Structure 1
Amino acid sequence: MLRTTRWVAAIIFLYSFPGYAEETFDTHFMIGGMRGKKVSEYRFDNKQPLPGNYELDVYVNHQWRGKQDITIPESPAKPCLPKVLLTTLGVKTDNLNTEDNCILLDEAVHGGQYQWDISEHRLNLTIPQAYINELERGYVPPESWDRGIDAFYTSYNLSQYRSYDSNNNSNTASYGRFNSGLNLFSWQLHSDASYSKPDDMKGTWQSNTLYLERGWSQILSTVQIGENYTSSLIFDSLRFSGIRLFRDMQMLPDSMQSFTPLVQGVAQSIALITVSQNGYIIYQKEVPPGPFTIADLQLSGSGSDLDVSIKEADGSVRSFLVPYSSVPNMLQPGVSNFDFIAGRSKIYGVKNQEDFLEANYIYGLNNLLTLYGGTILSDNYNAITLGNGWNTPLGAISFDATDRVVS
């Protein structure tokens, strides 16, 4: 009997094997729309999060762009990015003709990629550099501008001159200049006035400029109303009384206030872009795979070409040359400058003043060509100017022609 028991135990041991039971979860413990559904329909890992709304740290090309509310639809499990959010993240949306609240990244940007890290509440977006609105170092975007406080200010310069002749008779002249302003309700009042009093004569006040001004950040412009001077953008400057709307170039990043060429290319991998001028490295940046555009160069001088090298992840290097020379009125590709004026001339010493309209416009077409034109219209004087500036390998050249009609 004992021998039989040993054989049975041996047989049981020989035929034993591990068994695994499938994990189950009673969804009746869950509430809301999940009650009674199959848990296998949902993903419990960091790579594919559950559908719903999340507040995540969003990184674009390894740069933190803030905490954002991200929606994950049922299918596909990709992040929904409204157009307004893409703009906030710095993605170019000019060619995106939709206001849909659920735009998939690969629909908005060719070559765009995303990666979840739900354990860190993080969404990583990789976007080709050419589709990103890069913020130049030191530049503050319009939505962060502050109009300042309501205040009055003034600065002045006072002087008095006294001379004596051979008979010890004195001659005294007094002069004062006052530059004052008032900031109130987002408007600024500017005044430039002077007071002069020759000896034994009545003192006189003279106003040089007196105008109201307000910045218009939506179009990066400023509007002025009152007595001021026209710009010398294309035509000669003159004093006038009226209204003026112009592009305020100080609202743009430093690199866009004058002509600098765009450096464009395609990176085959994560690449290091190096820009040199006169043998000195003036710019260096790492870019993701895909097309890239470098628009925030700050160059010294106006006649030295740019040497550009692209060093790929495998160590290979490609180089090319970007011609660079400029003349006045040239602008970076895609940048425009304008100045519109309606008013009446106030030229000192001229008896018959005239109402007039003046319009000036400059546009950087590409790395080689900037176009500009302007016109003045009045009853007795009309003028029109058309011109262009060329950036060529041989240097910068500017041509313009003006037609005037005087009656």
Structure 2
Amino acid sequence: MNKQTPPRFRRSTLSLLILGMLLPVSASWADDEIQFNTDVLDTQDKDNIDLSHFSRRGYVMPGDYTFTIMVNKESLKEEQIVVYPVGENGQESLICLSPELVSRLTLKASAMRELSWLRDGQCLDKASLEGLEMRVDLAKDTLYLAIPQAYLEFTAPNWDPPSRWDEGIPGVIADYNLNVQTQHSVNSSDSQSLSGTGVFGANLGPWRARADWQTNWDKRNGNTDKDFSFSRYYLYRAIPSLKAKLTVGEDYLSSDIFDTFRFSGVSLNSDLSMLPPSLRGYAPEVTGIARSGGKVTISQQGRVLYETQVAAGPFRIQELNDAVSGTLDVRVDELDGSVQTFQVTTASVPYLTRPGAVRYKLAAGKPSEWEHSMTGPLFTSGEASWGTANGWTLYGGTVIGGDYNALSMGIGRDLYLLGAVAADITQSRASLPSDGTLSGTSYRVSYSKTFDEYDSQVTFAGYRFSERDFMSMSEYLDARYGSGASHSPKEKYTLSFNKRFRELGLSTYLNYSHQTYWNSADNDRLTLSMSRYLDVGPFKNMSVSLSVYRSEYYSLKDDGAYVSISLPIGNGTSLSYGATVNRTDNTHRVSYYGRLDEHNSFQVSSGLSRSGPTGYGYYTWQGDSTQVQANASYQAGSYSALGMTLNGGLTMTTEGGAAHRSNARGGSRVLVDTAGVSGVPVKGFGASVKTNRFGKAVIADVNSYYRNPIRIDVDKLDENADVTRSVSQATLTEGAIGYRQFDVIAGGKAMAFIRKADGSYPPFGASVVNDKNQETGVVNDEGSVWLSGIQANGTMTVKWDGKARCVVNLPPVLPQVLDNLLLTCAPE
């Protein structure tokens, strides 16, 4: 149903009327004074007109304003701007740009040094920045600044330099991810499980305090296992001047050279996420095929990094942070009761650094265990990469820890058209009571290249060989203080490659890893995916895909393949056929996928397998306060199962708070305030969220150090709500709680007629504002006004000549049909 909204006679409309109809009959361009021909107005009382705030070019009435700042067409966050009267008799206005605001305009240091200031250093002297132009649009609550590009620092699309980063406001957070799964099996006992991960945290200024937790409850064969623990306590903050992140507490060594291990101490690492997107690192991804759908858990050294429900068929998880390194353990708990386990080795693109730049990672502390106890020697570690001017990169690092020491040196080269390559050598020396001193060397070569002319990309290709006596810190700690049963790596091959064949419309993806050990069986993992869109007769835009994998995990072999054909049938729905083949079963399914709206989608399917008929269902709901993923699976004579994931959080700040969906646990988010108006749809990159009863909502699908859009979804805005500005943006430091406020006016809309107590009416052009000082209308001829924000027992003030003149009290009971309201404006 289309909603017809009457025209709004607000300040913008009046401005167009004046500029289009009241052409100036004379103007003194020296002082920018404009005189209007009021004879063209269709009004009986031409002497009762207030056009004072339009009579001078660029004039803004003195006062305090909240403006969105636009710098060369780029939007910044809202700012409190003070406008002062200047000149003879205050006939001109000074728009005061404070030193704090100017510091966020990304001016070069040389330009900043040349600035001069007015009003005791509180306001920028516009003349000191040659070429600066300022313009205010009161209708849009926006201050436009045009600054010559020569004065500005480097910016990139969707990225801002550090001067614009927002540390956010103080607050506390509680994010969670819960997974529930229950299975009923005909041939074995039933089982139920509940697992979860989450973060409690607090923000104060640039500091972030976090406590990670994880829990597991499992009931199987009459036995119940349960566990809850806080896996990690830590503080961190961004150091923008160093493009680095400082962490204090329990952490995992972040390194591009050495294997990771857990420790308690302090680290200072160059943070690639602070760089423009084109210069950031490679984020690991995990691919696989779920036979019947179920829960995928990605962990490292017992710490759960990611957990979610997936549908039957191929899955590709790309949400992992690019700071994750080393070997990841992947577990797929299928709805049919089976379990897949395999490992993924995260790739490190060649350790290259831009010419003249230095990247570094420093850490010191003591290795720690899961229960927060510290075991092992005090250690320090450091690594650095320096980009020389001719395309070479020199890098190296060291770990010094008493009975364990390691040293690494490497060199990288940007081969330009041929890609980038790096090679390094690492020497370790470890003293063990049982084996004496062991010394070994590890050699590594890595390569990366995007072949644009061939539509292909080698995301990573690497080879590593380690001698028998070479040990990483984690292997040393296990041999010295643990079970001593760790695997000793020998050779490792890794390849990640994708290729697009434009002529065939075919896309391919290959991921391969091969790991051999000195003391155990080999590990292999191969995944190959191919997909193509094609038209067959009347069927358009069909999608055909094939995914195959082969895995050998410590002598446990697993092979599988999945093929699917999907046909769009309109309105966000599709019909598909899929077949899964593995060592134990073959399954054929026909599925129907539907997307009800941006918040709801589902998939239902039915099929056959060796064991009998199967049925499957999958549903996703993007709620305002949580996200739910649910699936159900059934096989006649074999099993039935249900699974569900709940993903959300709670954020509370000094400005209010709300329950919300959660993207990255403990990560950045934005609290949106709609001036107390509930039910307002706001959104970032994903589905919209409605403000709660207090007019607050939290948008969690934002990225750190990235220019995130924050906007009101005006297409879904209730007809009794009105906004003058619907778009903002936020560039947040990691873990920050941003705050953005939108001036939303709630209430009915109608044509009204305002009369003063003596029967006269306010002058043409007078402004009507509510108790929040929001403009709700501009007076037209004979007191007529198109008024918004009408609420029972409400109060509005009418202003002209820059002052509040009288007050309108709205009736306690509004008529069912708002039209031609007669309102009295009584003196204050």
Query: What is the TM-score normalised by the length of structure 1?
Result: 0.49
Name which one, 1 or 2, has greater alpha-carbon Rg. 1
The structure with higher relative contact order (CA 8 Å, sep 6+) is 2
Q: Going by fraction, where is strand more abundant, 1 or 2?
A: 2
